[in-house]
């Protein structure tokens, strides 16, 4: 027995209550169940550096839609939540917090600083969890993880040891990206390249023993202090005679060689380039090929090192200015030209990074990348949309060794130990009691920590108990779908894929669903600097979580950015109210009634029509969901509920409900259909709007424990009623036409008029007659007469042209003849354009030969329909003009 709903829908009252119930009942929790097929996804762990933003809201809404859908399909659905320690970002936040308190982190020491950072984690991880719950995410909170919890930390240590044992991890001096502000190394993926206005400084280097000079151009003149060669192309005839000679390094006076290397583009500039192996990755490779010295000119804070006179201690940009002045003063500066070039910046603090040679820990990527490359080529891994697979592949095919060490305290400390006596390096799970080389008992652990992405790369399997062969790991891994933004394909997705293959032998997931960014109403990226960020919690507080979720998914296409408008949130809230009010109307009319499933013979045309429509909807929405077309799926559900169900079916059956005493079977069929279709519609809407649908469904079907645990609607051949759809859709056109005609002539609804439908199709005629009683109130008709010809219809009747029929309303004195002629003349003009357009397409040989046959047939059908309607319009115009 259903129960009534409150008069108005109040999200604040129901959302927290429902979420608490879901958690108490453990509806989100999944255990190993071999009788069910698992569906697993892992939450991209938000950083513990603050509140969630609108991008997180979108990302988690998409995941929740998928997991709720799969749960209702009968899968053993597991969604693992968690947070990321976000090494550099969190360290910066805590350091700044300490500064505001007048505390230097160095004074606290490593242990003290880590203690404060763990306090930060507890506060912000809890905040994030609370925000996600407000959004309605149905993840398994019993399995919540953190990238630095004990299990994940064990997995990180195990991976480091295994990769080191296999020779994939090594320590060496190579060019790395260095952030002078955060004073740590960065991986290539953490460097954003942005266009900046700069200059090309043209400098001449004197060739030793000659009167000649070599001219080079550079965007970083300060690096000439570390030049160790000038390179030219081996096939460049201009310079063949000087290869092997030396030049004098301006301002420094050091002699450096001229070398020939194919790296040089002889067509670019002068065809001669300065080589600074310690401060440019390409120069580093050239230096290795020619055994050039590597001279570091920068301190960790990007000031010039000792040994360079007045430049020593200067900031890099201050030194640049001084060096350019001195080059000009001493006659070495040839010219300066403006130049826009790509500059690498740290994605976290936005500081321009410096390529520098430093001893760091690296992961060899050549072999590890191969299975990840093969996965996309064989289709074992796919991206939605597919175009992102090309970006993924391009990155992997050009990947360099991954610098994994970071010069910060917060993070997984590298499990490498150095003998204080002989310098032996030991990689081990715990600190060795003594050095295996010399027996010394004094060892010191490496000060560095691991790149954040080293741990999050293991997320799909470390969260399931790996490296232990747990039942969870064996059952739930590999996971199925990863949902993430296109901005972290390189950071995270690639690392997870090659890590999955390296440590489990399997891809961590089969599909990556990529979404875009949420931008403001002007299309700008949301940022603190612009002040255009929108707090999802504020939106939820004002409009409810369902309204926010519907707004984020409506019109959303995989991989595309979306714009966020408050007006759209209001529209989403209005839809929630529409669903609520329609459901309330249905349940009020079901009150105190025993409703039973009707016999097939008791169903009327409109019942069959709406059952057929919701049946097709189940099929279409399921197909869209399986293709990850979530925005299309929700639009279909939205249109069905608002238009077909609320605006048409409910209105069409009101007469039967209100006159239930006269025909109980008819009313019972209508009420059963209302309840059944509403239930199915709520099920299909539930993944998108879980709160309002749950509240309504629990009142509609109180015997079921939860909508989220109910079965997803299935397409059934038994509910395919093509004739009923055809009849009802035609009747809708009749009603719509009469309404429009009355509105155009400002006829008040209180004035009833007889409506004639002239139709030669016998089935349609029978259907119109069956629908007459329920249709008349919707078009203010006193009566509906269905006939095969115009017999008995007054010449002055207003005509309405609909497909396969003509409709006449004898309004007699109420009609303005001139106005009706004008209206039909406009209709004639409109139809003329449509007929000409269709004829034009069908006479176009290219269209007919190349377009799909279905499209050609569609145009032919339109032409036939418009031609038929035109005949009716002309006939009516002639009659009106004759009777004027």
- Residues 648 and 739: their CA atoms lie apart, in Å, by 14
User: Which is nearest to 226 in space by CA: 299, 182, 276?
Assistant: 276
Angle between helices 630-639 and 664-685 (to 10 degrees): 160
> What are the residue ranges of helices labelled H in 449-553?
452-456, 459-462, 471-476, 494-504, 536-543, 545-553
Which residues of the chain are modeled with pLDDT < 70?
1-3, 527-529, 746, 811-817, 880, 882-884
The residue with tokens 């130990």 is 417
Residue 860 labelled as part of a binding site: no
- Tokens coding 589: 């009319």
CA dihedral 609, 613, 618, 619 (to 10 degrees): 110
The pLDDT score that the predictor gives to residue 257 is 97
Dist. CA 799–CA 755, nearest whole Å: 10
Q: Cα(534)–Cα(803) distance, rounded to whole angstroms?
A: 48
Residue 815: its pLDDT value, please? 60
pLDDT at 811: 62
Asked whether the beta carbons of 172 and 359 are under 8 A apart, the reply is yes
Summarize pLDDT for 11-68 with one digit per residue, the tens.
999 999 999 999 999 999 999 999 999 999 999 999 998 778 888 999 999 999 999 9
Question: Do the Cβ atoms of 637 and 617 come closer than 8 Å?
Answer: yes
Please name which of 444, 376, 373, 386 lies closest in space to residue 414, comparing C-alpha atoms: 444
pTM of the entire predicted model: 0.85
pLDDT in tens, 110-159: 999 999 999 999 988 888 899 999 999 999 999 999 999 999 999 999 99
Q: Are 294 and 229 in contact (CB under 8 A)?
A: no
Q: What is the pLDDT of residue 881?
A: 74
Q: What is the pLDDT of residue 617?
A: 98
Q: How far apart are CA 593 and CA 639, in angstroms?
A: 30
């Amino acid at each position: 027995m259903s129960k009534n709903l409150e008069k108005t829908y109040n999200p604040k009252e129901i959302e927290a209550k429902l979420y608490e119930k879901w958690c108490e009942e453990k509806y989100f929790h999944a255990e190993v169940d071999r009788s069910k097929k698992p569906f697993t996804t892992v939450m991209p762990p938000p950083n513990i550096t603050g509140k969630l933003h609108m991008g997180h809201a979108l990302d988690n809404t998409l995941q929740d839609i998928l997991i709720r859908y799969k749960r209702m399909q009968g899968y053993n659905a597991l969604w693992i939540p968690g947070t990321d320690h976000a090494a550099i970002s969190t360290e910066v936040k805590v350091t700044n917090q300490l500064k505001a308190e007048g505390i230097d982190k160095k004074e606290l020491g490593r242990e003290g600083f880590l203690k404060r950072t763990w306090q930060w984690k507890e506060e912000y991880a809890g905040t994030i969890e609370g925000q996600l719950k407000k959004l309605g995410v149905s993840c398994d909170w019993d399995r919540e993880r953190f990238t630095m919890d004990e299990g994940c930390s064990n997995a990180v240590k195990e991976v480091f040891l295994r990769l080191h044992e296999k020779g994939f991890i090594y320590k060496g001096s190579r060019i790395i990206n260095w952030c002078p502000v955060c004073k740590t190394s960065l991986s290539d993926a953490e460097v954003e390249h942005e266009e900046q206005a700069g200059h090309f400084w043209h400098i001449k280097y004197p060739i030793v023993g000659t009167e000649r000079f070599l001219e080079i151009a550079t965007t970083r003149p300060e690096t000439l202090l570390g030049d160790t060669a000038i390179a030219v192309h081996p096939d460049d005839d201009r310079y063949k005679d000087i290869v092997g000679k030396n030049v004098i390094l301006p301002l420094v006076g050091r002699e450096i060689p001229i070398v020939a290397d194919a790296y040089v583009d002889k067509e670019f500039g002068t065809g001669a380039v300065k080589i600074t192996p310690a401060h440019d990755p390409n120069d580093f490779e050239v230096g290795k090929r020619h055994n050039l010295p590597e001279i570091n000119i920068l301190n960790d804070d990007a000031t010039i090192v000792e040994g360079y006179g007045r430049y020593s201690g200067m900031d890099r940009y201050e030194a640049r200015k001084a060096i350019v002045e001195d080059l000009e003063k001493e006659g070495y500066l040839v010219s300066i030209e403006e130049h826009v070039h790509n500059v690498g910046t740290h994605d976290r603090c936005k500081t321009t990074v410096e390529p520098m040679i430093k001893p760091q820990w690296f992961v060899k990527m050549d072999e590890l990348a191969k299975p990840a490359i093969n996965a996309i080529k064989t289709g074992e891994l796919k991206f939605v949309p597919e175009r992102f697979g090309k970006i993924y592949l391009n990155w992997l095919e050009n990947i360099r060794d991954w610098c994994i060490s970071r010069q910060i305290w917060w993070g997984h400390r590298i499990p490498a130990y150095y003998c204080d006596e002989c310098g032996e390096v030991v990689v081990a799970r715990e600190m060795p009691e003594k050095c295996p080389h010399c027996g010394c008992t004094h060892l010191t652990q490496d000060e560095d920590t691991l790149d954040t992405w080293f741990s999050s790369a293991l997320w799909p399997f470390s969260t399931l108990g790996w490296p232990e062969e747990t039942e969870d790991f064996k059952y739930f891994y590999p996971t199925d779908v990863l949902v993430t933004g296109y901005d972290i394909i390189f950071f995270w997705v690639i690392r997870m894929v090659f890590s999955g293959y390296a440590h489990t032998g399997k891809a961590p997931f089969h599909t990556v669903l990529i979404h875009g960014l949420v931008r403001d109403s002007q299309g700008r990226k949301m940022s603190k600097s612009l002040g255009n960020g929108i707090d999802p919690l504020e939106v939820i507080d004002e409009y409810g979580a369902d309204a926010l979720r519907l707004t984020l998914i409506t019109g959303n296409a995989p991989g595309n950015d979306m714009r966020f408008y408050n007006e759209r949130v209001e529209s989403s809230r209005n839809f929630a109210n529409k669903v609520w009010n329609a459901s309330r109307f249905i349940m009020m009319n079901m009150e105190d009634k025993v409703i039973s499933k009707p016999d097939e013979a008791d169903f009327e045309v409109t019942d069959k029509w709406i059952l057929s429509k919701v049946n097709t909807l189940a099929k279409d929405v399921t197909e869209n969901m399986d293709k990850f077309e979530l925005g299309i799926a929700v639009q279909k559900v939205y249109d069905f509920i608002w238009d077909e169900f609320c605006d048409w079916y409910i209105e069409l059956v009101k007469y039967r409900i209100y006159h239930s005493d006269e025909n109980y079977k008819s009313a019972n069929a209508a009420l059963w259909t209302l309840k059944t279709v509403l239930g199915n519609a709520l099920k299909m809407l539930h993944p998108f709007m879980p709160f309002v649908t749950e509240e309504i469904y629990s009142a509609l079907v109180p015997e079921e424990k939860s909508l989220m645990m109910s079965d997803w609607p299935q397409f059934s051949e038994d509910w395919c009623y093509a004739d009923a759809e055809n009849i009802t859709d035609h009747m809708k056109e009749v009603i719509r036409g009469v309404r429009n005609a009355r509105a155009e002539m400002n006829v008040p609804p209180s004035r009833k008029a007889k409506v004639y439908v002239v139709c030669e199709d016998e089935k349609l005629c029978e259907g119109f007659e069956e629908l007459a009683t329920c249709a008349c109130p919707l078009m203010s008709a006193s009566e509906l007469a269905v006939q095969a010809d115009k017999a008995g219809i007054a010449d002055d009747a207003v005509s309405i042209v609909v497909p396969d029929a003509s409709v006449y309303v004898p309004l007699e004195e109420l009609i303005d003849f001139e106005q009706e002629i004008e209206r039909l003349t406009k209709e004639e003009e409109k139809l003329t354009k449509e007929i000409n357009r269709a004829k034009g397409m069908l006479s176009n040989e290219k269209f007919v030969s190349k377009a799909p046959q279905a499209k050609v047939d569609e145009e032919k059908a339109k032409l036939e329909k418009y031609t038929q309607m035109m005949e009716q319009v002309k006939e009516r115009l002639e009659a009106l003009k004759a009777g004027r």
